[in-house]
Structures are given as C-alpha cells and as structure tokens.
Structure 1
Amino acid sequence: MKKIKNVRTVALDGLNAIENNQAYSNLLLNSLIEKNKLPQKDIPLLTEIIYGTLQRKLTLDYYLSFFLKGKKKIDDWVQNLLRLSLYQMVYLDRIPDRAVLFEAVEIAKARGHRGIASMVNGTLRNIQRNGLPEIEEIKDPIERISVKTSTPKWLVKRLSNQYGIEVAEQIFLEQLKPAKQTARVNVNKATVENVLELLQKDGLEVTKGEIVPESIQVIKGNIAHSHVFKQGLYTIQDESSMLVAKALDINEGEMVLDSCAAPGGKSTHIAEMLSNTGKVISLDLHEHKVKLIEGQASRLGLTNVETKVMDARKVGEHFQAETFDKILVDAPCTGFGVIRRKPEIKYSKTDKDVHSLATIQKEILQAVAPLLKRGGLLVYSTCTVDQEENSNVIYDFLQQTCDFIKDDTLASRMPEKVAAHVDNGELQILPQYFQSDGFYISALRKKV
C-alpha cells in the first residue's frame, strides 16, 4: 500500500512545481489534494502553507539571506523547504517551532543527504536563537515596501508612480490577506435567502454578500463541494467581478457578445439577467476553455448561451456590423487585481507583459466596436489595477474611434457603496476598498 505523504512534503512538491514549471497555484492545489489522497483535515494547512509561502516569498528570502551568507548556492527545493519552514515559524502561531524543525530535517534527509539536513537544521535554529532583521530599517522606501509586502521592486515602483506610494503599499498589503469566498445566486432558480438556508442546513457558515444584492459570502466551509452547487443555484465568483454584468444594463431579449468569455462567470451572469431570453454569444480562443463555459451554462440551466472558439480580434470575419445590443470585452490582462488568489502572478509578470497585453486589449476593442448597434453599450473590464491596461487603453480607444463616448450613467447601475468610486464612466476598484478583487470597469456608449 502506497504511503500517504505528509502535508509539508506535499506543500514542498507544490512550491517546486510553481517555481520550476510555472504551475498555477489554484489549479495545482486541487491536483495535489487529489493525487496525494490527503485527509480532509490536512487540506486547510496545505492551502495555508502553499499560499502563505508564495505570498511572502520575497520577505522570507530577505530574512533567510542574513542566515545564508557565505553558503554555497543552494538547490531550489532546499530554498523552498527553508521558505515554507520559516513561514510556519513566523506566521503560524499554532504550530510549535520544534515540530517545524523536526519535519524540515526529516524532509531534507529524505530528499538530500545528511549535509543538507544539517544545514537546514542549523539555519532554522540560528533564526530561532537570533531573531529576524527589522524590515522597517530598510532606508529606501521602494525596497522597504517590496520586502514588507513581498512584491518585486519594479511593480512597487510602477504602481507608486500611478497611485502614490501610500496607496500602492495599501494595495500590496491588502493582497497578502486571504481572499473571501463568495458566490452569485442564480436568481432564476432561487432567492438569496433560499440558498443561505440550504447551505446552512449543509453545515456551512454563510451570510449575504457585502456589495452585490444577489451575492453570498462563505465564512466557513467549501461551497464548491455542496449539492446546492451541483443543482445550479449559484456560481462561485468574486463580488467585484459580479459588477461587470451590472454595468451592461441588460434588458430581456437582447443580443449580447462576450468576446473573451472563459471560464464563463460573466457570460452566465448576463444570461441569468436576460431571464433565459435573447442570446449571449460567448467566445474564447481555446476549445478546452469554451467547454468550461458550456459546462457552467448547463449546470445553471441556461439555454441562451451560445459558445464559439474564436480569436476576439477576428470577430469581424464572423459577424455582421451592428449585430449586438451590448458587448463585453473582459480583456486578457496581467491580473494584478487578483494577486491574493494567484500569488505567483506578482513574480512571473514583467513590464514587457503589461505593454504587450495593452496592445492586445486595444486590438480587441477596435475589432468588436463595429459589431455594436447605434446607441448600444460596450463595457471594457479587467482584473488588474495597472492604468496602462485600464484608463490608458480607453483613452487611446476614444482618441482613435470617433463614434464612442463615455457612458455617464454607469454609477446609476452600481450598488450605492460602489457608485461613489465611479468617475466619468470609469470604475477602478482597488483591493482595499471592499476586500474584494481589484477590478476596472469602463462603459462606453456608441453614438446614435
């Protein structure tokens, strides 16, 4: 019988895969749990260690650098073992240091040799004895924020230039906190109260959402595994993301294009708002992602979603001009607004990625614009907080396209606490506003 790996060994496997194979943390976690047949009671600790170590990687490396001076270059897996061990010692007060040290040494022995085990033991005991260096003593403010929030210096500098250094620091500090677990109730099938009651009967601790009326928030438990989810009574989605469909001002019977639709959260929200009338044409570049949209629509009992595998930049070859009442461009982006959900983003993306994505975003907007009817609404959204991908893209689009204007009624379609952040048809949500994802939404009206 195969021996079940312990949590820290599995966490090390995960961190190595993220570091060496550019694996996505959210997808990887599920496969690790399945592959290693981890007991349910160990899943929260595995999640905490992987996400926490990833989120704090640069901070942990800063601390470790003081205790690894003069040592030869160590292997990546040893660095990850030191990181995850130090993470537990510094940030998890319910695990005694002796347990962390014992596990680290045992893993080092099993994976390496006595010399590595001795080095790991010596380094961690040295930290235990001497304490950690003070981050606040770093004089350069950009470097200090970089180490404190575990964010690459180039990104700290970039968002400090856009928002000011204090707001940038708040963004990065907020994204160190765990993400809320929220869902959007399928109001065609149930009320918020119905769903809350059903989930509470299932033993979950749930409450109403804080921003969107049809949202719920999970305090304790996992709603992805509930039979209520399988019945299609809700979709797992962040509240910031739910605001995108609201921005479209959907009316029954309309034809709506969702040009970059996978995995389908916004497409299905639009379809629900249409009350199964009209049609949502949902496009994505990849066939396997289109299947995700179809799966969502089927689970939710939606018959007005039609999917196509297509590059949004080539929509003009497949649809006639002025076909759609509303168009959504939820554009591919750097994802700097969802770092708390996918911490590897802050280490893998570069300045160059921002520029190349902004180019693609502009190309998609230019391609879909002719397909919108006169007087129709185009909503552009991203899950990033970088202005080059957001307000700058809209500014450039309006400079080049004379038949669009900003829609000054966007605020009227937003919940009250969100409306205050709308400025001239644009909404930039920063993660610290509502402890939700960072999101940008712009509404543009085509001239009649």
Structure 2
Amino acid sequence: MNIRNIALHVISRVLEEGAWLNKILTHFLFKIQDARDRAFLTELLYGTVKQKLRLDWTISKFLEKYSIEELPPYIRNILRLGTYEILFLNIPPYATVNEYVKLAKKVGHRGTAALVNALLRRISSERPEPREPWIKYSHPKWLYERWRKRMEEEECIKLMEYNNSPHVIFIRINTLKVTPSDFEKELKKNDVNFERLYFPETLKITTPPQFLPIGKSFYLVQDLSTQVAVHYLNPEHHSTILDMTAAPGVKTTHIAQLTSDTAWIVAVEKNKGRSRLIKDLGRRMGITNIDIVVGDSSYISFKTRFQFILLDAPCSGLGTLRRKPEIKWRIKENDIHRMSILQKKLLENAARLVKKGGFILYSTCTIEPEENEENIKYFLSKFTDFKLVTGKNIPENFVKNGFLFIEGIKYNCDYFFGAKLQKVR
C-alpha cells in the first residue's frame, strides 16, 4: 500500500472538496498494518494541512508561468506534500523528490512530472524563509491581525506554534461498563502507555485509540477540555437534563455516565442524519435514558422545564486548530459575527427552558470574545433573573474571572470556554 498515494487522495479530498481530515484519515488508518506507516501518514497529512499557507508561499516562489491556483489540483497537492516533507520531515530530499516524481507520472504525464521534479529540487536547495509571521507560522493574515489586537507578538507566535504542533489523544473510560482500574490493567497488559488525569474516567494515551486492544464500548475518544466541561455542569442523578446541540453525542453520553444513566436526558439535534450518531453512540455505550429530538434549539419548546441545560454552542472552532487544522482555511472573519448572533438566540431560548434554581452551561471551543464573554455580558444584561456562578467540582486552575477557561497550551488540549448560569428567580 503506497502511503504517499493515499496521502494524495486524502489531501485532495480535504483541501479541494471540503472533507474533514480526521474522518477520512481514520478510514485509511484501519487498513494500514505497519505502525510506522500509520505514523508517517498521520504526520504528513496533518502537517501539510497545518502548514498549507507556508507551503503555498514556498511553491509560488518558484512558479514562473502559473499561479499555484492555476495548477491541476493533483499537481498542486503533490507539490504541497513534497514541500512539507522537504521542509519539515527528516527524510533525504532526493528520496522525497524521487517518490513524488513517480507519483506525478502515475497521475499525470511527463510534463507534470518534470515540473514536480524541477520545483522540489529548487525548494530543497534554496529553502526560502518567509518574513511575515502569518506566513511563517501558516495562519490566515486576518486571523493573525485579529489576535495581535489583543495579544503581544510573542504570545501570538506561541499560539500559532501550538496550533501547528501534533495533537494529543485523550479518552474517556466508560465506567458504566468497566471500572477504571480494570481498564488500566488491560492497557498495561498490552503495553499501552497512558497518564491518569483529573477525573477517574480520564486518560491521556499515546497509542491511537482505534488500535487499542479493548472493545470500543469501554472507551471513547474525547478531548480533555470537553470532559472538564461536563464535570463543570455537575449534573445530578435522577435530574432532568437538556443537551441543546447534542450530536454526535460525546458530551451527552458523558452526562449520562456521570449520572449513572439515572437522569432523563433530552438530546436535541437539528440534522436528522446526525441525530442517528447520538442514538448509535448511546447504544454502543450501554445508555438507555436519552430521548433524541430532531429540531432547532434556537426556538424549540418543551412543556418540561429542565434542571440542567448544556448549550455547547456552534462556534468558529478556533480553539481546536491542532485537531482540526482545516478550520483555519475555511472560516472567514465575518463568520464569527454570524456565529455570535446564533449563539445569543440559543442562549435566549435556553433561558426559557430552564427551571427556577436550575443551571445552564454555555460553552464554546473558541477563544474569540464575541462568542464568549461578550455573549454572557449581553445575556446577563437582558435576563436579570440569572447570575453567573462558579463550579466547585473541578480544579481551580480551570476557572478564570468566574468563567471556565481552559488554556489549551497549558494542558495540551483544545482551548475551551464555559459560563455556568443559574436562574435565581
């Protein structure tokens, strides 16, 4: 199985057709037996997507007759993959050039192969260095300029470097089916390295979970940040709980797990197809107390008023760029404003659905103030029967100025924001 051939197929799907890297990569990783090949493919693809702007800038330096956008997509992506290997991987350049010339011949013709050969050889020998920080660290210029308005240059560069670093895998042990101690024994028995973190069910693991020698009903891949968030909600046994934007069900099933599957959980999802993901995940995890409703949470209504509401709002996702690097090439600055309008609508409806004394946890995986603190300021000015409260059941270092704020760079996870709101009258 030719790894670079697979890489070309995947990178073309992601950068040309809008596919999600993690989903399509996972499909191929299951078919690759050699661990070194899996690691190489993962690094090559994530690195190429993360460094796309710098790669395109480098390639464009040596294009004389065409712009990079005018190249055939398969040649453009062969050049991106080859340039990434040359600039960022410890592989002899002659070997890289040779492999991608062969690939260019296979998918193109002699002329395109000659172009690939000439460009990669020049890139290998000259290795130009960009001066502009947004190019050097491969982030959209508008995003760099936006962050610089509220960050010092050094902090901004550290954030961009962090976004370009390899992400870490966290898992959640399904304590409805296995005890943490028994699960950890199985990991040790199979020489899987892990680190126990803040909660009994939370592990950081170095072996990709799809290859863990343990049944999939016993664990779930879930970033540390969202595990902390569900604990911050602190749902109670036998309570009524609403998850307003539930698919694919990761946090929904975590809530069920923390309440020992005794709470009544209503999971709302706008997309009927995605709602099936909640059902499938609940079945896999052995959960019985989730009712799934297909509807729009910005105006959906229930006769019941809920004790706990999780509103993990649709957002720009700019706190997840290590795991989902394609986001930075797809999102536009005006999307942030558009998201903040939707988030306010969802918050307003949540206020109508929670009972007196109950709690709303509003959360996002972004670092943009318009989607975070500014939304809460707006909400509290409009709904004076609510107050901001601080959860006491998570480590204090995750709470800042009354908000849940997980600074990803400190904990090797996604950035995450949360505000816990209580209806007091």
Same fold (TM over 0.5): yes
Partner of residue 120, structure 1 = 116
2:300 alignment partner, SS class? helix
Aligned partner letter, 2:248:
P
Q: Residue 402 in 1 paired to residue 389 in 2? A: no
Shift of 1:320: 2.1
Shift of 1:428: 2.5
1:289 alignment partner, SS class? helix
Partner of residue 182, structure 2 = 194
Partner of residue 142, structure 2 = 154
Native 8 Å contact 1:335 1:384 kept in 2? yes
Q: Which moved more, 1:9-18 or 1:158-167?
A: 158-167
1:314 alignment partner, SS class? coil
Partner of residue 297, structure 2 = 312
Q: Which stretches in structure 1 are left out of the alignment for 5+ residues? A: 139-143
Partner of residue 208, structure 2 = 222
1:312 alignment partner, SS class? coil
| Alignment deviations for residues 277-335 of structure 1 (CA, whole Å, 9 cap, x no partner) | 1211111111222221122222222222221111111222xx126x1111110011111
From 320, 326, 334, give the equivalent of 1:344.
326
Q: CA RMSD in A?
A: 1.9
Native 8 Å contact 1:160 1:166 kept in 2? no
Native 8 Å contact 1:223 1:229 kept in 2? no
Q: Residue 58 in 1 paired to residue 58 in 2? A: no
Structure 1: distance between partners of 2:363 and 2:81? 36
Aligned partner letter, 2:415:
G
Shift of 1:234: 2.1
Q: Residue 98 in 1 paired to residue 94 in 2? A: yes
Native 8 Å contact 2:54 2:138 kept in 1? yes
From 35, 43, 51, give the equivalent of 2:38.
43
Q: Residue 175 in 1 paired to residue 158 in 2? A: no
Q: Residue 418 in 1 paired to residue 402 in 2? A: no
Native 8 Å contact 2:314 2:343 kept in 1? yes
1:388 alignment partner, SS class? helix
2:398 alignment partner, SS class? helix
From 405, 408, 412, give the equivalent of 1:431.
408
Structure 2: distance between partners of 1:431 and 1:57? 22
Equivalences, count: 422
Native 8 Å contact 2:235 2:255 kept in 1? yes
Shift of 1:134: 2.8
| Alignment deviations for residues 368-402 of structure 1 (CA, whole Å, 9 cap, x no partner) | 21111111111000111111111111111222222
1:251 alignment partner, SS class? coil
Q: Return closer, same or farther for 1:32/1:205 CA change in 2, 3 Å cut-off.
A: same
Structure 2: distance between partners of 1:440 and 1:43? 33
Aligned partner letter, 1:320:
K
Native 8 Å contact 1:184 1:237 kept in 2? yes
Shift of 1:10: 1.4
Aligned partner letter, 2:107:
R
User: Equivalences for 1:253-272 in 2 at 5 Å?
Assistant: 253-272=238-257
Structure 2: distance between partners of 1:299 and 1:156? 41
Structure 2: distance between partners of 1:13 and 1:190? 39
Percent identity, aligned pairs only? 33
Q: Residue 332 in 1 paired to residue 332 in 2? A: no
Structure 2: distance between partners of 1:247 and 1:207? 21
Q: Which stretches in structure 2 are left out of the alignment for 5+ residues? A: none
Q: Residue 76 in 1 paired to residue 73 in 2? A: yes
1:342 alignment partner, SS class? coil
Partner of residue 340, structure 2 = 358
Q: TM (normalized to structure 2)?
A: 0.94
Native 8 Å contact 2:398 2:405 kept in 1? no
Q: Return closer, same or farther for 1:71/1:293 CA change in 2, 3 Å cut-off.
A: closer
Shift of 1:123: 1.3
